[in-house]
Every structure is written in C-alpha cells, then in structure tokens.
Structure 1
Amino acid sequence: MTTPIVLPWPLQSFLEAVAQAVLEPPDRPQIDFSRPIGEAGLVASDSVSWRVFKNPLSLFIGGVTAVILELAEPRVRTGVWEHTSFRQNPIRRLHSTGLAAMVTIYGSHTTAEAMIARVRRIHDRVAGVTSSGERYCANDPDLLNWVQATAAYGFVQAYHVYVQQLSALERDRCYAEGAPAARLFGVPGAPGSEAELEALFHATAGRLERSAIVLEFLAIMRSAPILPLPLRPAQHLLVAAAVDLVPYRVQALLGLTGHGLRTWEVAAVRQAGVPGK
C-alpha cells in the first residue's frame, strides 16, 4: 500500500490556489468530477493522461507553454488575439481553457462531446486575415493540428520536467490517449507519439515568427491577479517555467532567451509540483 504524500502547508496551499485559478470560475456552473454519472469518458482512468492532468501546477505551466507556441504561428496568433477575450479578461479565458481540458480527460463521454461541439461552433465563426494578408479559419486542419500538438506537448512536458519523469513509452501513450478528443474536435493529424509530434514541429518550424504579442501575453500572465495576493510572486516563476519548456530554437526565434528560470528556481518549482496521492 502506498503511503500518501503530505505536502508542507505552504506548498499545499499553493497547489490549491493554482487549481482554483485554473478550474473554478466564480460565475459559471461547476462540474463535479468526483461524482461520475456512470458513463465512461474519452480517456480511461488508468491512463497516463489521468496522472498528468491531476496536477494543477503542470496544468498551469503546460497551458502557458502551449499558448506561447500557438502564438508563434501567425494565423493562430491572429485568431486568438482578435477573437477571444484574453487581453480584456485573462482569468476568465484561463478558466475556460483549464475547464475544457479537464472535461476532455475526466468528464463523461456525453459531457465532453457537448463541450467540444460548443467549441467547434465557436470556431466556425473565427476567421479573418492576418497582417501579412493570409486568410485563416480556426477550423482549418493545419491550425487544428498545431493547436492540438502544442497543447499536448505543453501538458506532457510540464508534468515530465516539473512533477514526475515519464518514460518514453508513457509519453507516447499520453499523446495517443488524446486521439478520441482530437477526432471530435475535427483534428485530422493529431500526433500519436513523441516522434509524430517532433515531425509536426519540424514541418511547422518555417511558419513560426517573432511577435510582440508573445511578450504581451507573458506580461499579462505575470501580472494578472490569477493567484491570491500572498502567492502572486509565484506567477513569475510559473511563467518562467513555461518559457523553459519551449524548444530552444523557438525561444531564440521569439526573443525569449533569458526569460526562463534561474538554476535555483527550477528546484523550487519541482518541489511545489510534488504529486500527491
């Protein structure tokens, strides 16, 4: 029998605050994940994904990493920045994204399908032209592939680096476990392994570009009142931890070199991410 890990009070309080910031919007109905309705979900309870998404620290860090990579692609960046409320209400947007991820992993099949259908209907209305004259649509297959891949990468890497190392087989399993939800989202080429993810990153590298919007996004994530005031300085650590997960070449391309963690801060984030049972 495994002995439960009891975290010191400051770390436990910190994790609870992160979880609340990501998952508990005060103005929306709550989904009680602890009381299943007897219907299977999209992902099995013995999956790697259930472990990865259980940790609020890796959910927060991985989500920021994913958005950094999304914003590096000009069509995705324009769609996100011009058609969402992130700049005006980053906390609400964070809640929506975190809750959607949790529903996809832990919610019943019916709940997840309904949520994904709503997202797809919203995406149908997201279209326009970038500053360089490129047309985009949120449901474009290439853009869906990129968003799915960056999200999967962010969450897997955050857990692997800051919470608990995953074997290569476990990382591959986690990517493959995202396939049912990806199909419902209409994603045609979601990576099912780390090798497929790296191939997609390589194929997309030539489309990525620097933008001041990435730095604006990071500034918002550092300063928005996401965590309670006593824990607010920790937001800087979490954002820096997210930057560190961005592949080095992309960091350099986006002008993010030096925005990551200092050596002693890495250990602090890892300690905060110690998994409970």
Structure 2
Amino acid sequence: MLGALKELMRPPAGMVADFSAPIGAPSLAPAHGVSWRVFANPVTVFIGGTAAVLMELAEPSVRAGVWGNSSFRHDPLGRLRRTGFAAMMTVYGPRRDAERMIARVVAMHEGVHGTTPDGLPYRANDPQLLNWVQATAIFGFTEAYAAYASAFNPAEKSAAFAEGLPAAKLYGAVDAPGSWEAWERLLAATAPTLEGSDVLAEFLDIMADEAVLPVSVRWLQRLLVRAAVEIVPEPVRSLPQLRERGLRTSERLQVRAIALAAKLLRFSRLPPAQAAKRMRPSYRLRSPT
C-alpha cells in the first residue's frame, strides 16, 4: 500500500538525481529542520500537495496559469511525479543542484502568461502570484503532517515557512511569508479573491479517479484526496466544489494510522534517506517525532 505512494517520490524518467552526493553538501532547507521531517512522509506529502493545489486553483490568476498551461489533464501521474521531484530537490537536494533546477523552472515559466476568463492579465512569474503559490505549498505540506502524522507547535509551523524562504526567493516569491503569522496575514488578504470554479471539481475528480495509484489501492487514493479537502482553510474549505468531500470521523482515524505507519518505515532509496547519507556524520535519519 505505502509502496505505491513512495513511487510518487522517486525522480521521474529523465530527471534522475543523486541525493547522496557530494558528501556534506548542504541543501536549501536545513538538515535538522522541520522540512526534512515533513517531506519524508509519503502519505502526508500526497495529502499536502493536493491541498496546496486546491488553494492555488481557488485563486483566479493562478488557476488560469496552472490549468491553462499544464499537462495535468492528460498526464496527471507524470505531472505529480515531476512536481514531487521538484519538492524533493528543493528540500533535500544539494544546494547547487536545487538552484539549477529552480532556474530552469523560472525560465520555463517566463513564457507563461495570458488573460483570465474575466479579462485580468497574468504572468506565471508575477511575484504576487508566486508568493501565494509558495505559501500554499508550505501550508499544505506542513498542515498535512501536523494533522495526520505528528502535531506541530506554533514555533515549528513558523520554522517550516522560514526554512522555505531561500527557495521561495530563488523562484521569485520575494515576499513569501516567513512565519505562521505572516501566512495568516497573506491568507486574510487573499481571501476576498478566492472563488470556486468547475476547475476545482475537475481537479478533485481527476485526483480521485485517475490511475495515480494502482487499482488495488485506489480506495487509498480517494481517502487521501478527502483528507486534503479536510485541511484546507476557509474560505476555500466552504467553496461549493469542496462541500461534503472531506473526511468522516472514522476516516480521520484511518488516515492518521496510515500516516503514522509511514513514519516508521525506511525508504532507503528515496531522497530523504539519500540526503541523510550525504549529510553524515552531521545528520542521522531517525524516526520523526
């Protein structure tokens, strides 16, 4: 079951990387930080990534840029694996390799621009939109881990945002929130612009029904999508497309049990373990608390 999820954390074809070398090379995120714990759990990574996309798609300009220029509709698994690889490289990869990857993404996004259905111009590298994208990603992954794997105190939640700032600035999100309090201010300021759409419903249907995971564990895929809906904040949580698509009480307990089981496993060939090997003896991979 968890083996199917861990495949989403492997580098996709054509994007192979060695997270174990060079020995001692630091990553953008600190080896002893909150982010290294958060991204080591494939269950909460899946949930958090889904929650982040839901929040992105609720913002009209981001939605137009993401959905109008994305391969998600015809290749959801490929898009998920490429996005997952980017997250792994940003958190665990040697800084030099992460910087190169981010530079390629920024250059690719430079040509992404257009107009929303309401006539509002947008461009993918707009710092204001990037601030929202970066912030929702940090929120989604951190909140998923805190909700289903291990609770975080306020200082740890703030640390997750602070640890993401080096990567955020490289992407062009120069005013991305660096603390939980700053995230809450950005959410409050952005809330009036957030809205429902058919795209949200389409995204949820794809995530629930497409072959992201094997048929034998498709029930798990649908359960984790509902777990993502459960953690998105207001006003997104109350949008018509998300209503009644969260978890029942018994399902919350089930998701927590699966996420806790994932914490106990060692995925030696995946980026978290490879990066821990690279950082030895200064870092020892251990069961996250």
Same fold (TM over 0.5): yes
* 8 Å Cα contact 1:37-1:108 kept in structure 2: no
Q: What residue identity is the alignment partner of 1:151?
A: A
Matched, 1:237 2:223: yes
Residue number in structure 2 paired with 1:71? 57
SS of aligned partner of 2:17: coil
Residue number in structure 2 paired with 1:213? 199
Residue among 139, 143, 153 paired with 1:157:
143
* Mapped partners of 1:121, 1:146: distance in 2: 19
Q: What residue identity is the alignment partner of 1:23?
A: R
SS of aligned partner of 2:122: strand
Q: Give the Å deviation of 1:224.
A: 1.2
Matched, 1:43 2:34: no
List aligned pairs for 1:47-62, cutoff 5 A.
Answer: 47-62=33-48
Q: What residue identity is the alignment partner of 2:139?
A: Y
Q: Percent identity?
A: 48
* Mapped partners of 2:121, 2:128: distance in 1: 13
Q: Give the Å deviation of 1:36.
A: 4.3
List aligned pairs for 1:1-277, cutoff 5 A.
Answer: 14-25=1-12, 27-274=13-260, 275-276=263-264, 277=287
Q: What residue identity is the alignment partner of 2:109?
A: H
Q: Give the Å deviation of 1:254.
A: 4.3
**Normalised by the size of structure 2, how large is the TM-score?**
0.88
Q: What residue identity is the alignment partner of 1:240?
A: R
1:162-214 per-residue CA deviation (whole Å, 9 max, x = no partner) reads 11111111111111000111111111111111110000000001111110100
* 8 Å Cα contact 2:59-2:195 kept in structure 1: yes
Q: CA RMSD in A?
A: 1.2
* 8 Å Cα contact 1:241-1:261 kept in structure 2: yes
Which deviates further from its counterpart, 228-237 or 56-65?
228-237
1:228-247 per-residue CA deviation (whole Å, 9 max, x = no partner) reads 22111111100000000111
Q: Give the Å deviation of 1:249.
A: 2.7
Does the C-alpha gap of structure 1 residues 74 and 254 become closer, same or farther in structure 2, counting only changes over 3 Å?
Answer: farther
* 8 Å Cα contact 2:11-2:17 kept in structure 1: no
* 8 Å Cα contact 2:113-2:122 kept in structure 1: yes
SS of aligned partner of 2:61: helix
* 8 Å Cα contact 1:214-1:254 kept in structure 2: no
Q: Give the Å deviation of 1:35.
A: 4.4
**Normalised by the size of structure 1, how large is the TM-score?**
0.92
* Mapped partners of 2:96, 2:127: distance in 1: 24
* Mapped partners of 2:34, 2:233: distance in 1: 23
Unaligned runs of 5+ in 1: 1-13
Unaligned runs of 5+ in 2: 265-286
1:216-237 per-residue CA deviation (whole Å, 9 max, x = no partner) reads 0010001111112211111110
* Mapped partners of 2:135, 2:66: distance in 1: 16
Q: Give the Å deviation of 1:103.
A: 0.2
Q: Give the Å deviation of 1:16.
A: 2.2
